[in-house]
Chain A
Amino acid sequence: MSEWWTYRPSDFLMFAPRTYWRLFELHNETWWPAQAIFFALTALLVVGVWRRHGPTLRVGVFAAAVAWAFVAWAFLWQRYAPINWAASGFAWGFAAQALGLLALSSRSAVHATPSRGRRAGGLALLLWALLAHPALGLLFGRPWSQAEAIGLAPDPTAIATLGLLLCVSGRPRVWQGLLVAGAMVWLAVSAATLATMGSAQAAVPAAAALLAGAALWRARAAQ
């Protein structure tokens, strides 16, 4: 790509904001009542995190793997890729993340983190993804039908997964670190996309990634 320095991020935005948000409306219509199922599972996970219940955490990691795989196929590949040729690459990334979470969930060494700071940060992210993020569209003048639901939409799924990974300690640590990085990469991509669309909502995925990073850094510093 010659004269690459003359390109702005907006030059790569190939769809209108209304088309982007309409994706979620069509997605929600197609997959209802999957939103309710993922909501209930995540609510149970929050209880499990609060009680530091190891088996619940393992099941939560497995459920996260299912969610990432579903988002990869049903949203990124089927719905987003027709309007954004980069989305097929995102779908592969989500599929890889799903495999990594699946592998982590298969290991018995998944238990609650002893770090109070990480648990607090993780719970905050889980509760945000579960309760606040779906309602975010209303703040920005979008209808409820375009809500981004956990397990169906990439942003709340990535935020919830970050929250869950903060709350657990798995082995090997580098593996868990890669999964955290994967979720953060998506949140950075989403923030960049939303910012290029001129949406103030870009601050949300960016803030989620920063919160997770701060919680991890503080926990590491405290060791």
Chain B
Amino acid sequence: MGSYAQATAGSLITRRIPSSGEALPVVGLGSWITFNVGNDARARDACAEVVRAFFEAGGRLIDSSPMYGSSQPTIGHALAKLQQPATLFSAEKVWVGDAARGAAQMEASRGFWGVPRFDLMQVHNLLAWEAHLPRLFEMKARGRLRYVGISTSEGRRHAELERIMRTQPIDFVQLSYNLLDREAEQRLLPLAQERGIAVLVNRPFREGALLDQLARHPLPGWAKDIGCEHWAQVALKFAVSHPGVTCAIPATSQVAHLRQNMAAARGPLPDAALRARMARDVAAL
């Protein structure tokens, strides 16, 4: 396992977190729905195999939230089975309207993961961000976190997100961006580059709906030019090839899909002209 990880990790495309220079592979792992399997031991073990394959392929960043049901204990189960991979970059969220309860929630999340601290803590869907962000910055200053961020999804509250990005010293922003949902290109991605904020992309497949739509169509000829054998790789390469994007976080419960996704973090990425063509061609399908 070790030699496989080294061979693949060396060829993985990485981006640097602007605030620190730390490198992250451009494909991470989300956990919305896919890891919410409750007390099903068989399903939890299956998720652990997905996480194993993720680390074997050189992956680092895993993202979750208290909102995601039992996804956090599932991640904790996987990490325990894998004996806490040293390369893990843990990305979590605080999701509570009463900021006074945020610390307890984050501590509960940490307990589920079984990690000494989180690398990144994000305010989920901007909920009570005015109260949460100062506390997160304080935690970062005391070494209890490494990075602070904020998240939204499906294009919601972009105007408010932009205000936060302009006025708050956040390290990360998480937003939705894919071949069809490209609003972030207008202001948020350029702003992230300008302000030195790392960008995590959620919903690169529109929770699978985009892939279901595309599955009826053969891959266009340009897909081979960028080393894509599956539509999922096309969608991921589109998302991560934007210079403002740091890492996309597709979720999956299948090892085969995980490996397809991680393959998108290798090989050539489309340039601006091909990106425009990809978006045009997919929109026309």
A residues with a Cβ closer than 8 A to B are 2-3, 6, 11, 13-16, 19, 22-23, 26, 79, 82-85
The range of chain B's interface size is 10 to 19
| Closest B residue, CB atoms, query A23 | B38
Contact of A85 among B32, B69, B156 (CB under 8 A): B69
Contact of A16 among B67, B155, B253 (CB under 8 A): B253
Chain A residues with CB under 8 Å of B156's CB are 2-3, 6
Chosen A-B contacts, 30 in total, with CB atoms closer than 8 Å, are A3-B157, A6-B155, A14-B32, A14-B33, A14-B36, A14-B67, A14-B68, A15-B37, A16-B33, A16-B34, A16-B36, A16-B253, A19-B36, A19-B38, A22-B43, A23-B38, A26-B39, A26-B40, A79-B38, A79-B39, A82-B38, A82-B39, A82-B69, A82-B70, A83-B36, A83-B37, A83-B38, A83-B70, A84-B69, A85-B69
Chain A residues with CB under 8 Å of B36's CB are 14-16, 19, 83
Q: Does B154 contact A (CB under 8 A)?
A: yes
Chain A residues with CB under 8 Å of B155's CB are 6
Contact of A11 among B34, B43, B154 (CB under 8 A): B154
A22 near B69: Cβ-Cβ < 8 Å: no
Chain A residues with CB under 8 Å of B70's CB are 82-83
Chain A residues with CB under 8 Å of B34's CB are 16
Chain B residues with CB under 8 Å of A14's CB are 32-33, 36, 67-69
B residues with a Cβ closer than 8 A to A are 32-34, 36-40, 43, 67-70, 154-157, 253
Chain B residues with CB under 8 Å of A79's CB are 38-39
Q: How far apart are the CA atoms of A82 and B32 in the complex, in Å? A: 14
Task: With A16-B36, A19-B37, A26-B40 given, name 14 new contacts (CB 8 A).
Answer: A2-B157, A3-B157, A6-B154, A6-B156, A11-B154, A14-B67, A15-B36, A16-B253, A19-B36, A22-B40, A26-B39, A82-B39, A83-B36, A83-B69
A197 to chain B minimum Cβ distance, whole angstroms, is 11
The 4 closest A-B CB pairs, nearest first, are A82-B38, A83-B38, A82-B70, A83-B69
Q: How far apart are the CA atoms of A16 and B35 in the complex, in Å? A: 9
Chain B residues with CB under 8 Å of A16's CB are 33-34, 36, 253
Chain B residues with CB under 8 Å of A3's CB are 156-157
Q: How far apart are the CA atoms of A137 and B34 in the complex, in Å? A: 22
A145 to chain B minimum Cβ distance, whole angstroms, is 13
| Closest A residue, CB atoms, query B67 | A14
A10 to chain B minimum Cβ distance, whole angstroms, is 8
| Closest B residue, CB atoms, query A20 | B38
Chain B residues with CB under 8 Å of A6's CB are 154-156
B39 near A19: Cβ-Cβ < 8 Å: no
